[in-house]
Amino acid sequence: MHFGEDLHKRILDNLYDGVYFTDTDRRITYWNKAAERITGFIAAEVIGRHCHDNILNHVDEDGAQLCFGPCPLANCMRDNVLREREIFLHHKDGHRIPVLVRVAPVHDEKGILLGAVEIFSDRFSHDDMRNRIEELERRAMMDGLTKTANRSYTETVIQQRLDEYRRYGWSFGILFFDIDNFKQINDTYGHVAGDKVLAMTARTLMYNVRSFDLVGRWGGEEFVVAVRANDFESLRKLASKLWRLIGSSVLHDNNAVVLAVTVSVGATLIMPADTAESVVARADSLMYESKRGGKNRVTVG
């Protein structure tokens, strides 16, 4: 490698943003250190493979598979138009991470297309995540396996949200998630895989809610999320987004897909006559409606 190429590589490797290059066949030819940090995939695992091998398994907020459909990178090479888009990539550990993607075609000095470059920025603050975990640890309010709030702390926060609702009129909603067929996962793949599924689901939830929302493990394979929401439409939108992101997460072992995960979800808004117990019970009941309806769905009420 020439000095100039080596210098450019060192610069790219020290960027905070993930960067990768592909040739015209969408074969990955370069993968920087930030791409490794953000995705969990090291360069040796991806260089030489095609991005449409679905390594990162890009999806949009509606759950559409971008690598097999409206791929921004493929489109920019076709029409020579730069693109920017918010998407959700698949981390090697299985969870979904929100990123801002920018793609551009790459040409040689004669204008011949050589491929494309994609730059992606982590949209979630790892400082925020670390601060959340440290605060929960300090207060002994963290579930050890999933790093979410434990049930006791979740109940405390829901009561605080209820007090705020009565005092200030600040509305909130409860989302109740239950991993489908979890006993079968444990029985088929073992409890180690089951623990990984729990952790993967928890990370997808934590990475994709707002800093003022709370994710807690309610028990077993159940999670409760307390969210700021003023109406059923915004509640439905958030619940559906999280449901789709979990449903598009997959657990890998040596780059081979081991299993996919789905959840049944119940979502409800606080009502004037509610107690902390009743609003959670209603969300739980709506989750069971999703179960009775065939699982892998969201019920709002």
Task: Kindly list the catalytic residues.
Answer: 221
**Residue partners of 282: CB distance under 8 A and separation at least 6:** 174, 266, 268, 274, 301
- How are beta strands 113-122 and 96-107 bridged, if at all? antiparallel
**Phi and psi angles of residue 239, each rounded to the nearest 5 degrees, phi first:** -60, -40
Q: How far apart are CA 130 and CA 22, in angstroms?
A: 33
Question: Is the CB of residue 263 less than 8 Å from the CB of residue 296?
Answer: yes
Q: How far apart are CA 195 and CA 145, in angstroms?
A: 7
Chain centroid offset of residue 119 CA: 18
Tokens of 30: 């370069």
Give the CA distances from residue 6 to residues 2, 33, 44, 89, 282, in Å, rounded to whole numbers and listed in that order. 6, 14, 18, 29, 60
